[in-house]
Amino acid sequence: MGFVCLGYCSVMTEPTTSFRTCPLCEATCGLAIEHQDGTVTRIRGDHDDVFSQGFLCPKGTVLGKFHDDPDRLRTPLIKQDGRHVAVSWDEAFAAISDGIVPVLDRSERDGGAMYLGNPVVHSLDLSLYSRAITVALGSKKVFSASTVDQRPREVASGLIYGSSFTIPVPDIDRTTALLLIGANPLVSNGSLATAPDWPGRIQALLDRDGALIVVDPARTKTAAKATTHLAPFPGTDALFLAAIASELVSTGQHRPDDADRAALEQVVEALAEFTPESVAEATGIAAEQTRDVIAQLVAAERPCVYARLGTTITPFGTTASWLVDVVNALLGALDAPGGAMFATNPAGSKNTRGEGPHGPVQTLGRRQTKASGMPIELGEHPVAALADEIESGNITALITVAGNPVLSCPDSERLDGALSGLEFMVSIDCYLNETTRHADVILPPPSHLQKPHFDVAFGNLAVRNVANYSAPIFPLDDGALAEWEICARLATVLGGGEGTREAAELVDSTIADQLIRGALGSSQCPPELSEERIRVAIGDRTGPDRVLDLLVRSGPYGDWFGSNDGLSLDVLVEHPHGIDLGALEPRIPEVLLTPSGRPEFAHPSLLGDVARLATLLTEPSSGLRLINRRTLRSNNSWMHNLEILVKGKPRCTMLMHPDDAQARGLDVGDRATVSSSAGSVEIAVELDDTIRPGVVSIPHGWGHGVEGTSLAVAERHAGVNVNVLTPATVVDPLSGTSQLTGFRVEVAAATA
């Protein structure tokens, strides 16, 4: 019988299952994605994934829906007469060249700025190529989501260990007592602690009769599992940790590494005024509760302290992060199995090059932002200063990459207004949303299923050493550009070029050349290796695959371009469920890049903040404070356009203790006006006795339905933007990180 085409049969393919790491959060779950003819039919957890073993959360199942979302941008847009219209890539790059280059040149490049959003670290292309844009922009004004997130932890690590990448992670699978502060991994799926299936790992801890001690003003899903839950006043964790540290030493219960004993005792001497009694009123944690926690940690065979976002988005974030490490070290839990350990990144990291001790002295406070004098640390401006810098004319052109600062950054109403005053703005983003509506040009990346994936960042943070590469499942759409190519073309335009494919390839080969030189210069490079041999080994790959191959092969598990049988991209491709490289192993001193060759616990910048911490002891705790909250079916600001995640009861509500509500004449479902020093919003009240009296919570990332956006589903589930309330004036002075939790608000019944 002849071949009869019914119109669609010519493209019918066999149903296929592809395995892929979920790129949405830090948990890095393995997904089994069933698809046919370019359409995802089903997503399950990959039971053979070496790390996640089948676990996934509701977000992991929606990558197909995101791929098909009609609002996801497929062609570049430029703003004409206040409206965004579709154009070709050539037209988009020409518009950027005409629009931004003169603006940059007028300020001798000083007026350009970048905002790098959270998904940058979840995208292989962006992790490897967004830097090309920064370099070409030629401005030092780089902002990112880090200063509304983990920057205090990184600053503390830079000072203590000599690298901001050297972040201790909880060895969750081996600990016997986990003190978990300001984190809700049963909802967030974990952060700065890459571990798929937190629920299972926490359950395993409980099953082996371990203790889970949760410190959180709310009895969250995680706290509900705890063997002990303490609900402190927000923002006071550094006091609690200081009291634990000093009590451990004053009662002689500390057991640090002898090499660190002197430094730790110097620290504890400075902390003498913080005792379980002296901090009790300020923290809301009774002295006997603190002593009980200490007793549990000391009695445990393998104790571990882990703190996350609830401790870093406070004015004492760096100090709290430091004290976490001090307490772990005093317990003998730092760098010990079952304690707080350091991962070994398969893609390599500053701390895997075997360079060892004797790095440079790390200092703070050398640079400040022009308009508001906020600290610039680790090469980044605090986002709290972005509106100031724009309004005072110091920033005239902005490039946002995978970020939605209008919803995620403090004093956002003002920031929203400031963005409309820019002379030129470019966004690389998948949606026309609250931020990108200000952009003169929007460059859309392909969907996540059309990109390669490898977690170059989370190799530093994983609770097991694992390497897992995912090839794209679907090809690029006709005429679409890979995200690395968008970055590279944009970089050449910013440099005065035309943004052609050839120019982008030049950027790509320059990056590869630098990595080849770096590999040859490494102390770990086998002496017989030559540039020519490396080039032969990497073959004709280009783009992110070539860069990743170079990183992995010259990384700590690498094959050094055929010199041994270690990892290469080819080996990763042969292992679609990932390669397990084993449990974490002790790495001190090899991991350190400090002048002394030991952790600098007594770093002057950290000791220097103790006096400020003492001022918290007398801060009045009256009134209401607003804390942050995450919900399982949400991911910061950008997954609200997927019906399956937003349907059902509204998630953007304010949780309030019934006593606090009653005192204000509020009942379930009532609308309340919430105001702070920065602004006010109106929101529905949910009564909830799981939240501490004196504290209310509102999730972030909402506030859709704004004019000029194109998010049909999100618009129907708009919610309010909590960051209208967040003051931009309060930052952690050591790291420039905004206070997004624990600031004062007034709540009253909304008037009609």
Ligand X SMILES: Nc1nc2c(c(=O)[nH]1)N[C@H]1C(S)=C(S)[C@@H](COP(=O)(O)OP(=O)(O)OC[C@H]3O[C@@H](n4cnc5c(=O)[nH]c(N)nc54)[C@H](O)[C@@H]3O)O[C@H]1N2
Q: Which of 503, 92, 163 is nearest to 352 (CA)?
A: 163
Q: Residue 22: name its binding partner from Mo ion, ligand X, ligand SF4, none (Cβ under 5 to 8 Å by kind).
A: ligand SF4
CB of 26 to ligand SF4, least distance (A): 7
Q: Total residues at the site for Mo ion (CB under 5 A)?
A: 1
Give the number of other Cβ atoms within 10 Å of residue 228's Cβ: 16
What is the residue type of 695? V
Using rule CB under 6 A, residue 119 touches ligand X: yes
Using rule CB under 6 A, residue 27 touches ligand SF4: yes
Stretch binding ligand X (CB under 6 A), from 287-295, 373-381, 611-619, 734-742: 734-742
Token pair belonging to 32: 């089994």
**From 20, 49, 60, 537, residue interacting with ligand SF4 (rule: CB under 6 A):** 60
Q: Residue 727: name its binding partner from Mo ion, ligand SF4, ligand X, none (Cβ under 5 to 8 Å by kind).
A: none
Using rule CB under 6 A, residue 28 touches ligand SF4: yes
Q: Judged by CB, which is closer to ligand X: 636, or 653?
A: 636
Alpha helices in 477-634 (DSSP H): 483-494, 501-521, 531-538, 543-553, 569-573, 604-607, 610-615
Peptide bond into 119 cis (omega under 30): no
Q: Judged by CB, which is closer to ligand X: 201, or 603?
A: 201
Buried b or exposed e, range 49-60, using 16+ CB within 10 angstroms: bbbbbbbbbebb
Window 192 to 211, contacts with ligand SF4 (CB under 6 A): 196
**From 19, 24, 174, 695, residue interacting with ligand SF4 (rule: CB under 6 A):** 24
Using rule CB under 5 A, residue 26 touches Mo ion: no
Stretch binding ligand SF4 (CB under 6 A), from 55-63, 266-274, 622-630, 712-720: 55-63
Q: Point out which residues pair with 381 in neighbouring strands.
A: 143
Token pair belonging to 191: 């952060």
**From 26, 49, 69, 149, residue interacting with Mo ion (rule: CB under 5 A):** 149
Rounded to an integer, what is the distance from CA 61 to the centroid of its chain?
Answer: 21
Q: Residue 289: name its binding partner from Mo ion, ligand X, ligand SF4, none (Cβ under 5 to 8 Å by kind).
A: none
Compute the Cα dihedral for 546, 547, 552, 555 and give only its sign.
Answer: positive
CB of 29 to ligand SF4, least distance (A): 3
Using rule CB under 6 A, residue 323 touches ligand X: no
Window 548 to 567, contacts with ligand X (CB under 6 A): none
Using rule CB under 6 A, residue 22 touches ligand SF4: yes
Using rule CB under 6 A, residue 430 touches ligand X: yes
Alpha-carbon gap, residue 56 to 301, rounded angstroms: 31
Buried b or exposed e, range 493-516, using 16+ CB within 10 angstroms: bbbebebeeebbeebbeebbeebb
Q: Point out which residues pair with 579 in neighbouring strands.
A: 467
Token pair belonging to 470: 């995912």
Alpha-carbon gap, residue 189 to 187, rounded angstroms: 6
Q: Residue 56: name its binding partner from ligand X, ligand SF4, Mo ion, none (Cβ under 5 to 8 Å by kind).
A: ligand SF4
Q: Judged by CB, which is closer to ligand X: 431, or 560?
A: 431
Using rule CB under 6 A, residue 455 touches ligand X: no
- Non-local CB neighbours of 486 within 8 Å, separated by 6+ positions: 428, 443, 445
What does DSSP say about strands 624-627 and 579-583: parallel, antiparallel, or unpaired? unpaired
Give the number of other Cβ atoms within 10 Å of residue 561's Cβ: 24
Window 525 to 554, contacts with ligand SF4 (CB under 6 A): none
Using rule CB under 6 A, residue 736 touches ligand X: no
Q: Which of 668, 655, 650 is nearest to 625 (CA)?
A: 655
**From 29, 78, 128, 218, residue interacting with ligand X (rule: CB under 6 A):** 218
Q: What are phi and psi of 30, to 5 degrees?
A: -80, 130
CB of 176 to ligand X, least distance (A): 22
Q: Judged by CB, which is closer to ligand X: 166, or 314?
A: 314
Stretch binding Mo ion (CB under 5 A), from 143-151, 293-301, 341-349, 393-401: 143-151
CB of 192 to ligand X, least distance (A): 7
Using rule CB under 6 A, residue 220 touches ligand X: yes
CB of 69 to ligand X, least distance (A): 10
Token pair belonging to 130: 């967004």
What is the residue type of 421? G
Using rule CB under 6 A, residue 187 touches ligand X: yes
CB of 443 to ligand SF4, least distance (A): 25
Rounded to an integer, what is the distance from CA 142 to the centroid of its chain?
Answer: 16
Window 609 to 638, contacts with ligand X (CB under 6 A): 627-630, 632, 634-638
Window 1 to 20, contacts with ligand SF4 (CB under 6 A): none
Q: Judged by CB, which is closer to Mo ion: 290, or 635?
A: 635
- Non-local CB neighbours of 596 within 8 Å, separated by 6+ positions: 357
Measured in residues, the chain has a length of 752
Counting beta carbons within 10 angstroms of the beta carbon of residue 475, is it exposed (0 to 12), middle (13 to 18) or buried (19 or more)? exposed
Stretch binding ligand X (CB under 6 A), from 158-166, 214-222, 342-350, 650-658: 214-222
3-state class of 262 per DSSP? helix
Sheet holding 441-443, edge to edge: 83-86, 77-80, 441-443, 424-428, 397-401, 112-116, 142-144
* Residue whose beta carbon is closest to ligand X: 310
What does DSSP say about strands 654-656 and 579-583: parallel, antiparallel, or unpaired? unpaired
**From 20, 35, 59, 489, residue interacting with ligand SF4 (rule: CB under 6 A):** 59
Q: What are phi and psi of 41, to 5 degrees?
A: -100, -25
Residue whose token pair is 């990346």: 445
Counting beta carbons within 10 angstroms of the beta carbon of residue 247, is it exposed (0 to 12), middle (13 to 18) or buried (19 or more)? buried
Using rule CB under 6 A, residue 25 touches ligand SF4: yes
Stretch binding ligand SF4 (CB under 6 A), from 56-64, 270-278, 404-412, 743-751: 56-64
Q: Judged by CB, which is closer to ligand X: 256, or 444?
A: 444
Residues of this chain that bind ligand SF4 (CB under 6 A): 22, 24-25, 27-29, 56-57, 59-60, 189, 196
Residues of this chain that bind ligand X (CB under 6 A): 25, 117-119, 123, 145, 148-149, 181-185, 187-189, 191, 215-218, 220, 232, 234-235, 237, 308-311, 314, 401-405, 407-408, 428-431, 433, 445, 627-630, 632, 634-638, 700-701, 722-723, 726, 740-742
Residues of this chain that bind Mo ion (CB under 5 A): 149
